[in-house]
Chains A and B, each alone.
Chain A
Amino acid sequence: MKIVVCVKYVPDATADRGFNEDGTTDRESVDSLLSELDEYAIEQALQIVESGVEAEITYLTVGPDDATDALRKALAMGGDNAVHVNDDDIQGTDALGTSLILAKAIEANGYDLVICGMASTDGGMGVVPAMLAERLGVPQVTYLDEVKVEGGVVKGRREGDTATEQVEASLPAVISVTDRTGEARFPSFKGIMAARKKPLESKDLDDLGIDSDEVGLSAAWSTVDAATARPARTKGEVVTDEGEGGVQLATFLAAKKFI
């Protein structure tokens, strides 16, 4: 079978991130990398194959030129090949547009199972997997904490606030996995070397039959009007206990509506 893992190349979450004047993400001034949450998706794909399911693993990213770094890292962890969708007209695309591009690329590649992360570490909307399933017209099981593929069915555990669900879907399907699925492996040196020789195909909108009007900033359903940096954390309030400490603490917490 064919597994497609969607991986996003994101600005390093530990760096000082910001926006350009038009509200798009500033990709120039910070290093980018493979979204950490997508490493869990990669790990699950590899474990499915290691569990004995015969499958070809393809990594797919929609992103700028150097998004190939994310694909090479994924390939170093394992898997077979990668597709990079890259086109100047993609700049500024929203989640709807991104899901369209991903869906076309997935259809072009062929798929039985699409694995996504639970959310990107930058946009963080967590909507792309659901949109993808809708566009592909296949079942979706999202936010899985545990994944298994058996006899044409993908099964998993979904941990909710009030209940734990055991869910399954017949393939083809789209799933997203959480950061509770188990730590992703580090690539080995052999994996790093092998990754250099694995096929990495680059595609543009034309190749996928997508009209440039359908994507990009102008086609976005949502725009960022303004972005304000979160104010620097202020120094906490120190309560010195001179017999009234408890009361002061309670008053403080009550004022902030914590109690």
Chain B
Amino acid sequence: MLDHRLEEEHELLRQTVREFAQEVVAPVIGDYYERHAFPYPLVQQMGKMGLFGLPFPEEYGGMGGDYLALGIALEELARVDSSVAITLEAAVSLGAMPIYKYGTEEQKQQWLPKLCSGEMLGAFGLTEPDGGSDAGATRTTARLDEATGEWVINGTKCFITNSGTDITGLVTVTAVTGTSEDGKREISTIIVPSGTPGFTVAPGYSKVGWNASDTHELSFTDCRVPAENLLGTRGRGYAQFLGILDEGRIAIAALATGLAQGCVDESVKYAGERHAFGKPIGANQAIAFKLADMEMRAHMSRLTWRHAASKLVHGEPFKQEAAIAKLYTSEAAVDNAREATQIHGGYGFMNEFAVARFWRDSKILEIGEGTSEVQRMLIARGLGVGA
């Protein structure tokens, strides 16, 4: 059964993050966004609050929470701003999680405490210029140099979140490490510490949204890392990132829910304040019904991500639910952002209004960590139809 009530500690976490988002993030984030600057002081404070360690055990510096706790934090952050939310999401579910799930004890001891405290950010390099959805088509290669005991990495990754901040410590990259016996390309995951010679980070992209989050193209030219930087089993890279992405979808769904709810918050306020034709615009049914639909979508979004998270936390299969949650919530976020902008009229098109940021930040939700088409493919596959 899905219980609609949060446990006391999850509810207190929600209140705490909400307070932080409203009191600390909201007043300053517009400025970072406008300057396309990474909000280091906010990230540092989120680190102190333990947000980067939420789903990890205390022995690695984590908070001993779970994926539900992470989702709750992401939802409340994204309700105010998506750049800080995606910074947390990518750092936890793409940066630290692969090491926690597939790393050796040494790798965990080496990296997790700093990643959990937010002193260091990790990134995950899967997407390449020639393909993201078809991640199995990875062109980046890693050759094991037996003589020196090093991987030699060559290739390019693109759109990689958190990969070029001052506190980025590592990027986990997927690369072709050979051909298996049945002629299939063997993909593995390798940890590349920031600053490794041969690993270059291009300047940040000019993006439509998520402007206070950090995204770069990365290139690897005869980049050498020790053989023991292999993450998990050689040749299991493909399966590993699929597992990572399944969980990540729940996190993105929570983030999308926050954006959808933030649109409701801002629009309800505005509809009560803004007058036209001698009455608040919210008194018009055309606006009131928009708000009702928006609230419905935000509500349904919350149910669907929490349901998927609940299955994950209880160790039940959740692939299908995660894909549905990611698909539904990202579309809800885009719909709500469009309507919120509409309700704000011309002001909605001005960057100083939160809804303008929501609008610009919403579209990527239908693209990142598996496009809507990919989610539909997965859901259809779960039904035993499609390709």
Contacts and interface: CB of A to CB of B under 8 A. Distances in A.
A188 B8 contact: no
B8 A190 contact: no
Contacts of A188: 48-50, 63
A13 to B, nearest CB: 13
Interface stretch (B12-20, B184-192, B368-376): B12-20
Nearest to A73: B12
A126 interface: no
B50 A189 contact: yes
A189 B48 contact: no
Given A76-B12, A196-B8, A189 B20 contact: no
A72 B11 CA distance: 13
B16 A190 contact: no
A192 interface: yes
Contacts of B13: 189, 192
Interface in B49-69: 49-51, 54, 58, 63-65, 69
B16 A186 contact: yes
B65 A189 contact: yes
B125 to A, nearest CB: 29
Contacts of B51: 189
Contacts of B63: 188-190, 193
B9 interface: yes
Nearest to B69: A189
A187 B20 CA distance: 10
Contacts of B16: 76, 186-187, 192
B257 to A, nearest CB: 19
A186 B20 contact: yes
Interface in B18-69: 19-20, 45, 48-51, 54, 58, 63-65, 69
Contacts of A196: 8-9
A203 interface: no
A135 interface: no
Contacts, number: 44
Interface string A54-95: 000000000000000000110010000000000000000000
A198 B19 CA distance: 23
Interface string A176-189: 00000000011111
B12 A190 contact: no
A167 B58 CA distance: 42
Contact of B48 (A72, A76, A185): A185
Please tell me the size bucket of the interface on A. 10 to 19
A127 B65 CA distance: 42
Interface residues of B, number: 18
Nearest to A185: B48
Nearest to B66: A189
B48 A192 contact: no
A190 B50 contact: yes
A197 to B, nearest CB: 11
Nearest to A188: B50
Given A192-B12, A193-B64, A196-B9, A186 B19 contact: yes
Interface string A190-222: 111100100000000000000000000000000
Contacts of A76: 12, 16
Interface string B316-335: 00000000000000000000
Chain B CB count within 10 A is highest, among A185, A192, A196, for A192
Contact of A189 (B19, B45, B54): B54
Contacts of A187: 12, 16, 49
B328 to A, nearest CB: 27
A252 B346 CA distance: 35
B19 A193 contact: no
B99 to A, nearest CB: 20
Contacts of B19: 186
A125 to B, nearest CB: 26
B160 to A, nearest CB: 28
B48 A190 contact: no
Contacts of B58: 190
Contacts of A72: 12
Nearest to B63: A189
Nearest to B45: A186
A90 B13 CA distance: 32
B300 to A, nearest CB: 27
A193 B69 CA distance: 12
Contacts of B12: 72-73, 76, 187, 192
Chain A CB count within 10 A is highest, among B16, B20, B64, for B16
B144 to A, nearest CB: 40
Nearest to B62: A190
Chain A CB count within 10 A is highest, among B13, B20, B48, for B13
A186 B12 CA distance: 11
Interface string A21-37: 00000000000000000
Interface string B283-306: 000000000000000000000000
A64 B158 CA distance: 57
5 contacts: A72-B12, A186-B49, A188-B49, A190-B50, A193-B63
Interface of A: 72-73, 76, 185-193, 196
Given A187-B49, A196-B8, 11 more contacts: A188-B50, A188-B63, A189-B50, A189-B51, A189-B63, A189-B65, A190-B63, A190-B64, A191-B50, A192-B16, A193-B64
- By Cβ-Cβ distance, the 10 closest A-B pairs, closest first, are A188-B50, A189-B63, A190-B63, A192-B12, A186-B49, A189-B65, A192-B9, A188-B49, A186-B20, A193-B9
